[in-house]
Amino acid sequence: MGTHRRLVLVPALLVLVHASTLQLTRPVPLAPAPPALRPAPTTTPEQLLADRGLAVPVKGVPRHRLKDTFDDGRGKGRKHKAIDIMAAWGTPVVAADDGRIEKISRNRGGGLSLYQVDSSGRFVYYYAHLAGYADGLREGQDVRRGDVIGYVGTTGNAPESAPHLHFAVMLLKGEKRWWGGEVVNPYAALRDAS
Ligand SMILES: [Zn+2]
């Protein structure tokens, strides 16, 4: 009886050892299988802009007082594609975001104006109808969100009776330059930033 049992046990042990050897040589999965491919979430330019946490670019204007004038007509089928922030003449205009002053410009429509590129190099901010610029402001200067860069005025084609900041935002498409890009409505990003 005892001898018979031992004869059965030995082959059984051999099978166990063999099986554990197999276990060790089997490749160990390094990571769980990747999830099924799903379409990348679509981020709109407006959402990207909201992530910047913009300051209202006119000092003392509360967010709830902003008006969405982006789609207003501007004659000959043109649209405004910017928002106007009404304020008293001479009210400080502040940088809406961290970035660099790319271009200080004077043009017929915008009057005294300037272009700022944000610190991510993605957005261009255009400030127009300024009464003047902050002392010593120069192209290439780095500015922080909230820094005074100019003053509200009526230069260019703004009515003298309605001083305001014309504020436009463009999303750059790869090229690092201060003109062109896709125009983005900044209203929601300004209204909802905290
Ligand atoms: Zn405007």
Instruction: Give the model confidence (pLDDT) of 26-74 as tens digits.
Output: 666 666 666 677 766 778 999 999 999 999 999 999 999 999 999 999 8
Return the pLDDT at 129: 98
Ligand 1 centroid to Cα of residue 127, in Å, is 9
Ligand 1 centroid to Cα of residue 23, in Å, is 72
Residue 99, both tokens: 């970035």
Return the pLDDT at 178: 65
Ligand 1 centroid to Cα of residue 98, in Å, is 22
Ligand 1 centroid to Cα of residue 110, in Å, is 8
CA distance 52 to 100: 15
Q: Which residues of the chain fall short of a pLDDT of 70? A: 1-35, 39-40, 175-178
Check if the beta carbon of residue 91 is closer than 8 Å to that of residue 151: yes
Return the pLDDT at 30: 67
